[in-house]
Structure 1
Amino acid sequence: MSYQGNRYSVPYQYIGYLVQIQDDRNGILRIYHDNSQIAEHVKINASLYQVAINKKHFEGIRRTNS
């Protein structure tokens, strides 16, 4: 998910879905899908093109050997 020039992870189940962002200007971003909070990140304020990743958002993805 991209917001103000930075990228934030969401649980993999929501990749490609439309999400809503709540920025209360308190340093925390909350990400919602269908009125349910699916993620929360500390807002990146330093510069553009940074990435915030929560490793738990990727738990459960199965790897395949090609």
Structure 2
Amino acid sequence: MAPVPHPSEEPDDSTGAYVGLSAGAAERRARASGWTTVRSLPPGAIITLEYLRGRINFEVENGTVIRCWRG
């Protein structure tokens, strides 16, 4: 039998710490913290709601992160 995969742990940083940062600074910080997928979205973007471990999402308006969430 194949081994059961164990998803890696997510970084333990606060999503609120990204709000107010520029999109570029937020992405650099997220990647340095260990997030494997960084997604920047405009306000009101239509997205799927599946949870993807290791992904952090940024809602970006005028180049600034206004909302951030995991998955």
Larger Rg: 2
Using structure 1 for the length normalisation, give the TM-score.
Answer: 0.26
Which is helix-richer, 1 or 2?
2
Write 1 or 2 for the structure with the bigger share of strand: 1
